[in-house]
Amino acid sequence: MGECCSFFQKPEEPVRKVTLVMVGLDNAGKTATAKGIQGECPEDVAPTVGFSKIDLRQGKFEVTIFDLGGGKRIRGIWKNYYAESYGVIFVVDSSDEKRMKETKETMTKLLEHPRISGKPILVLANKQDKEGALAEADVIECLSLEKLVNEHKCHCQIESCSAVMGYGKKIDKSITKGLYWLLHSIANDFDTLHERIKKDTTEQRALEQQEKLERAARVKKIREESFLFLYEGSHWRTKGERA
């Protein structure tokens, strides 16, 4: 990867901090991919509950990748990371044809989100080492990938790979190539993406603060109501006393 990203290493260029999200269905191989990129053995990894984070230095980029859990109950947290993301890595289990419809629906929902539409997306057709794995062209067809990325104006690259075949310098070259493409795509549109991310993160923080205040107000109201006076028999008492 260091060789691939040598074009980033111009002395006059500042270090750029970039955040990426890695998403996909559960068991697609996201964590194995993340570990392999980081230089750790990708075998025997446990399913991600919530998220994990890795930090990398690639040329003039300081890259943070959020590996987000892919279970149905966890996917709701993905949107919390969209505002700060410069690009997306979507990992697909190309050996699981039965879940391609679910994968397509999940990707569609992702690309429809206003804080993702227009950002570059790398699709990794993972688990090519498995018998019966779909070829790259078949994955594209199953996901209607060309139609999706055109509708949402996302630059896209798909790479067939196997995350468990190596790690570090021996990682599947298709993963290296894909990450190189994603960083290159971000570099070409960095200023526009950076301004968009500043705007989106400011709006998201304001929304989160507003939601926090509203929750606090609701809790305060509930507490106040719990001490309303009730008349019982010949005297007044609070609900709390009654309990």
The CATH number of whichever domain residue 29 belongs to comes to 3.40.50.300
Taking only the tens place, the pLDDT of each residue in 45-96 is: 655 556 789 999 888 899 999 999 999 999 999 999 999 999 999 999 999 9
- Is 194 inside any structural domain? no
Looking at the fold, whether 68 and 89 belong to one and the same domain comes out as yes
Looking at the fold, whether 119 and 230 belong to one and the same domain comes out as no
Contact 122, 181 (CB under 8 A): yes
- Is 178 inside any structural domain? yes
Q: Give bridge partners of residue 17 from the DSSP assignment.
A: 62
* Eight-state DSSP code of residue 135: P
Taking only the tens place, the pLDDT of each residue in 119-144 is: 999 999 999 999 999 999 999 999 99
For 214, the domain range is 199-242
- Structurally, the chain folds into a number of domains equal to 2
Q: Do the annotations mark residue 127 as ligand-binding?
A: yes
Looking at the fold, whether 102 and 45 belong to one and the same domain comes out as yes
Q: Do the annotations mark residue 26 as ligand-binding?
A: yes
Q: Do the annotations mark residue 176 as ligand-binding?
A: no
Distance in angstroms (rounded) separating the CA atoms of residues 30 and 194: 25
Q: Do the annotations mark residue 240 as ligand-binding?
A: no
Taking only the tens place, the pLDDT of each residue in 195-219 is: 999 999 999 889 878 888 888 888 8
- Is 1 inside any structural domain? no
